[in-house]
Structure 1
Amino acid sequence: MTLTELRYIVAVARERHFGRAAEACFVSQPTLSVAIKKLEEELDLKLFERGASEVSVTPLGEAIVRQAQSVLEQAAAIKEIAKRGKDPLSGPLRLGIIYTIGPYLLPELVRHAIDMTPQMPLMLQENFTVKLLDMLRTGELDCAIMAEPFPDTGLATAPLYDEPFLVAAPASHPLAQQRSISSEALKQETMLLLGTGHCFRDQVLEVCPEFARFSSNAEGIRKSFEGSSLETIRYMVAAGMGITVVPQLSVRTWDRSEGPNQQVVYLPFEAPAPTRRVVLAWRRSFTRYEAIAALRNAVYACALEGVTRLS
């Protein structure tokens, strides 16, 4: 049994496909297949079920893949310990971030990270929460910036900030004249929602649960619309097609003197205003503690207007 063979089975479990796993490991498919077959013979069990279009992991294989991932992490930790002895912040940091935070935090965060720790470049991955959790678990990411709640996967977390929600309405809408708004007042409005998979969509539906029923039947098409991004939805609000709920940091990225922000009014919720908690998460086995601390410091160096910083 070798680390290379363990790396191969982790790749197949992640990709669910021998060809893609071989590409990810930079080897030919026959080389990967032979190595996995050799390991299965050594262990005297089947790790994978080969289907016509997809590979599935056997129940016992799942446990072995998890252990293999842990062994690979521990082996990588040996190199990390050696690096930390020379420079704890040397080498790239693989950072994941969800779609509804990335565009509004990353530009400033990356600038501060370059200024504060130029020897630690950030390798960025934007994705859904569920995918980032999977990538953390398999070691493809070192850490991720996400919004709570998310499934407990044994990760270590550090709170960054609490971010309030705002209602975005067309400037010509009657609600635009109010100083604040209640979730009750949104019940009769056409709500523009993010599509399924976005955790921010789920958080909005917690604030306005009556809209949950509209996203699962044909009648709802008349009452709600699902967009692929907050920016798409914001343009639709500017066009007068409905209202939406947005996170605080997304507002400051739009120049109010031009573009759709001329036609959009942002209204705070009545107290208690709904918020989301943004956290930094990483595997407990990740050994670069100084890198995590440096990333948090870079986040805190950002303006973060309108949010509550957490230490």
Structure 2
Amino acid sequence: MTLTELRYVVAVARERHFGRAAEACFVSQPTLSVAIKKLEEELDVKIFERGATEISVTPLGEDIVRQAQAVIEQAGAIKEIAKRGKDPLAGALKLGIIYTIGPYLLPELVKGIIDRVPQMPLILQENFTVKLLEMLRTGELDCAIMAEPFPDAGLALAPLYDEPFMVAVPAGHPFAQRDSISAQELKTETMLLLGNGHCFRDQVLEVCPEFARFSSDAEGIRKSFEGSSLETIKHMVASGMGVTVVPVLSVPREPHPHLRFIPFEAPAPTRRVVLAWRKTFTRYEAIAALRNAVYECELNGVTRLT
């Protein structure tokens, strides 16, 4: 049994496909298939059920995959311990971040990391919360910046900041000159929302639960549209197609000629942004350096947490 074979097992369990697992491991499919078959013969168990179109993990295989992940992580920890003896911050840090935070935090954060700890380059992965949690669990990521709430995955968490929401409306909208807006007033508007999979969509629907019904003839609601990114939705709002709710860090620092951003009436809805990592991750200094770099960013309009 080798670490390489265990990595192949974890990859197949994640991808549910031998070809994609081989690509992820940078080997040919026959090489990966032979290695897994050898391991199954050595253990005298079947780890995977091979169907015509789908690969599934056997009940006993689930336990083997879980233990394989732990072994791979512990093997990596040995290398990290050795590195820490020389320089605790040496080596890349694999950071995940959700789509509705990345564009507004990463440019300044990456520059800050380069300036503060150039020996610790960031390897970045933007994705949905559920995917980032899976990548944390399997060791593909070291840490991730996400918004609560998310399923309890037994992770260590450090709160970074609380970020209020604002309403974005076209410059010619009747709300455009308002100092504040209530969530109740949005009931009669055409709301533009992010598509399924974005946690920010769910947070907006908590603020405006009426839009969860997605019915064009529901009382007080005309229609809801969905977009793939906050920037796409803001362009749609600027063209007069409706209104939306955005996190404050996505509000441009210079006035937009076709958009107005208006605060909610107090208490404004907010989301809590946190840094998450596996409790077994050993590079504590790297986590601290990343968190300090986040605090060095301007973060206009948010409440920093310590």
Normalising by structure 2, report the TM-score.
0.96
Tell me the residue number matched to 1:177: 177
Per-residue Cα deviation, 1:110-150 (whole angstroms, up to 9, x for no partner): 01000000000000000100111111111110000000000
Q: Aligned partners of 2:264, 2:83: CA distance in 1, in Å?
A: 48
Tell me the residue number matched to 1:231: 231
* Structure 2 letter corresponding to 1:182: S
Q: Aligned partners of 2:146, 2:166: CA distance in 1, in Å?
A: 19
Measured after TM superposition, the shift of residue 222 of structure 1 is 5.2
Tell me the residue number matched to 2:98: 98
Tell me the residue number matched to 1:301: 296
Alignment coverage as a number of residue pairs: 304
Q: Aligned partners of 1:171, 1:33: CA distance in 2, in Å?
A: 59
Q: Comparing 294-303 with 32-41, which one deviates more in the overlay?
A: 32-41
* Structure 2 letter corresponding to 1:281: A
Tell me the residue number matched to 1:289: 284
Aligned counterparts, 1:152-191, within 5 A: 152-191=152-191
Aligned counterparts, 1:27-38, within 5 A: 27-38=27-38
Q: Aligned partners of 1:230, 1:291: CA distance in 2, in Å?
A: 30
Q: Aligned partners of 2:217, 2:74: CA distance in 1, in Å?
A: 53
**Where does the alignment leave 5 or more consecutive residues of structure 1 unmatched?**
none
Tell me the residue number matched to 1:122: 122
2:269 is matched with which residue: 268, 274, 280? 274
Q: Comparing 233-242 with 40-49, which one deviates more in the overlay?
A: 40-49
Measured after TM superposition, the shift of residue 108 of structure 1 is 0.3
Return structure 1 stretches of 4+ with deviation > 2 angstroms. Answer: 217-222
Per-residue Cα deviation, 1:24-78 (whole angstroms, up to 9, x for no partner): 2222222211111121122222111112222111122112101100000001111
Normalising by structure 1, report the TM-score.
0.95
Measured after TM superposition, the shift of residue 218 of structure 1 is 6.9
Q: Aligned partners of 1:281, 1:289: CA distance in 2, in Å?
A: 12
Tell me the residue number matched to 1:250: 250
**Where does the alignment leave 5 or more consecutive residues of structure 2 unmatched?**
none
After superposition, the CA RMSD in angstroms is: 1.4
Q: Aligned partners of 2:197, 2:11: CA distance in 1, in Å?
A: 24
Per-residue Cα deviation, 1:204-236 (whole angstroms, up to 9, x for no partner): 00000000011xx67689511000000011011
* Structure 1 letter corresponding to 2:246: V
Given that residues 237 and 243 in structure 2 are in contact (C-alpha distance below 8 angstroms), is that contact kept between their aligned partners in structure 1?
yes
* Structure 1 letter corresponding to 2:199: C
* Structure 1 letter corresponding to 2:179: R
Measured after TM superposition, the shift of residue 175 of structure 1 is 1.4
Q: Aligned partners of 1:55, 1:271: CA distance in 2, in Å?
A: 51
Does residue 47 (structure 1) correspond to residue 42 (structure 2)? The answer is: no
Q: Aligned partners of 2:163, 2:233: CA distance in 1, in Å?
A: 19
Q: Aligned partners of 1:177, 1:218: CA distance in 2, in Å?
A: 28
Does residue 108 (structure 1) correspond to residue 108 (structure 2)? The answer is: yes
